[in-house]
Amino acid sequence: MTSREKIQRALAHQSGPVPVDFGGTGLTGMHVSCVAALRDHYGLPRHPVKVCEPFQMLGEIEDDLGRLLGSDCVGANGRGTMFGFANEGWHEWRTPWGQLVLVPEGFRPREDASGDVYLFPQGDTSVAPSGHMPGSGYFFDAIVRQEPIDEDHLNPADNCEEFQLLSPADLAHWRTEFARVHGEQRAVVSGIGGTGFGDIALVPAAFLKHPKGIRDVSEWYISLIERRDYVHQIFTHQCAVALKNLETYAALAGDTVDVLVICGTDFGTQSSQFCSPEAFDDLFAPYYRQINNWVHRHTKWKTFKHSCGAVRPLIDRFIDVGFDILNPVQCSAKDMDPVRLKADFGSRIVFWGGGVDTQRTLPFGTPAEVRTEVTSRLRAFSPDGGFVFNTIHNIQARTPVANIVAMVDAVRDFNGTAA
């Protein structure tokens, strides 16, 4: 059975070996420090790891490492980064923690006397920075650059600047990317961007030089209550552009793609939700339903919805609007017990993630504790398919390599393929 067939069986809720995803998306990857540590652990050639997603400082998991980790997925990735520059023109850079990595040409940091690092939208150092990494940190936070809000003259078009039709450069990139993964024995996971409505990570628009509209995180959440007409106008425009882009993208991708990442919008906190089920029905459901319906009418792809947190009250709604997959399945959040999730929703949605807690167990537990938790999650989620193993979101910086290896070995043992 190929890796792609393993994923397809899981997506069809059929029993079989549990497939694995490490690095297929920017939501299922590893910090660049962990990638380097794993390469050393497995005795792979040493070289600077590429920072494939600079916002979270995720490292590229190359094929040699991916095979050792048992990963069954490969990403077909977009051209740009969250800072608006392309992933090309690689050069070396030494991180604040001392690691030599490769970063894209547009990654032009400014470092101050305290060791803090600043990045700039589209790599343009003549404008205000849009990202900040503390000297003691391991990833970037977006810098909010909110212009004064004039309630009487708010223009939804200001929040639509980023929603554009695919450019000739985008199309050329996708042709190259699909040629790269054509014929893969692994499942191909991809996404075109612009299909995730209200993704709070994108609201500050770290990729725009002079963002207009509502770009402050708090103001955006206020807008979900007090400026709903404004939000609807943004989402209506965004959805129209996304549907046109999907048509173009699908003509290029064909059957190469297995899973399409639609949404990175977080709806859950550790103990509650960012919006009520009724607000989801009003503000988000109409647009997600249009996107999912188009994908399911025109392709064989499965659609992937990311949301951290305590989203149990919304899972029925995620299913109703057409999502096939939920990630990262944050079992540590309120009412997210894996056994109950599987019993109540496991026949109707695929759980992609939830394999081990990246807030506590994986970074701070012992290898034995990691193995125990991984095995418990596999037993809870794997019956009758519908589960792809990944951690709860990306593996964070400085996670002990022994714990990551214990996780990988536990999955391999569970699947009965231990060396």
- Rounded Cα distance between 408 and 399, Å, is 14
178 membership: H or E segment, kind and range: helix 168-181
Q: How confident is the model at residue 323 (pLDDT cuts 50, 70, 90)?
A: very high
Average pLDDT of span 194-218 = 97
The structure tokens listed for 127 are 């404008």
CA distance 223 to 30: 33
4-17 pLDDT per residue, tens: 999 999 999 999 99
Helices (H), 194-337: 217-226, 228-253, 277-279, 285-298, 312-320
Q: Quick check: 344 pLDDT over 50?
A: yes
Per-residue pLDDT of 260-313, as tens digits, reads 999 999 999 999 999 999 999 999 999 999 999 999 999 999 999 999 999 999
CB 86 within 8 A of CB 79: yes
For the residues of 315-329, what is the DSSP string, one character each? HHHHHHTT--EEE--
Mean pLDDT value across the chain: 97
276: left (phi over 0), alpha (psi -120 to 50) or beta: beta
Residue 282: C-alpha distances to residues 275, 285, 295, 396 (Å): 11, 7, 22, 35
Roughly what angle, to the nearest 10 degrees, separates helices 168-181 and 228-253? 50
Question: Can you tell me the mean pLDDT for 138-150?
Answer: 97
pLDDT, residue 62, reads 97
Task: Let me know the angle formed at the C-alpha of 255 by 70 and 181, rounded to the nearest 5 degrees.
Answer: 45
Condensed to tens digits (0 to 9), the pLDDT of residues 30-71 reads 999 999 999 999 999 999 999 999 999 999 999 999 999 999
CA atoms of 415 and 87, how far apart (whole Å):
35
> If you ran DSSP here, which 8-state letter would residue 267 be given?
-
Give me 388's structure tokens.
């792809």
Q: pLDDT digit string (tens) for 358-384?
A: 999 999 999 999 999 999 999 999 999
Q: Say if strands 187-190 and 259-263 run parallel, antiparallel, or are unpaired.
A: parallel
DSSP state at residue 283? I
**C-alpha–C-alpha distance, residues 361 and 370, integer Å:** 6
Can you give the pLDDT at residue 356? 98
Give CA separation, 385 vs 55, 159, 179, 351, 415, in Å.
33, 40, 30, 9, 13
pLDDT on residue 368: 98
Question: What is the rounded CA–CA span in Å between residue 293 and residue 272?
Answer: 28
Other residues' Cβ atoms within 10 Å of the Cβ of residue 64: 11
pLDDT at residue number 419: 42
Would you state the pLDDT for residue 417?
Answer: 63
**pLDDT tens-digit series, residues 101-134:** 999 999 999 999 999 999 999 999 999 999 999 9
* d(C-alpha 196, C-alpha 213), whole Å: 18
Is 3-28+71-77+147-414 a domain of CATH 3.20.20.210? yes
Instruction: Give the pLDDT confidence of 380-406 residue by residue, as tens digits.
Output: 999 999 999 999 999 999 999 999 999
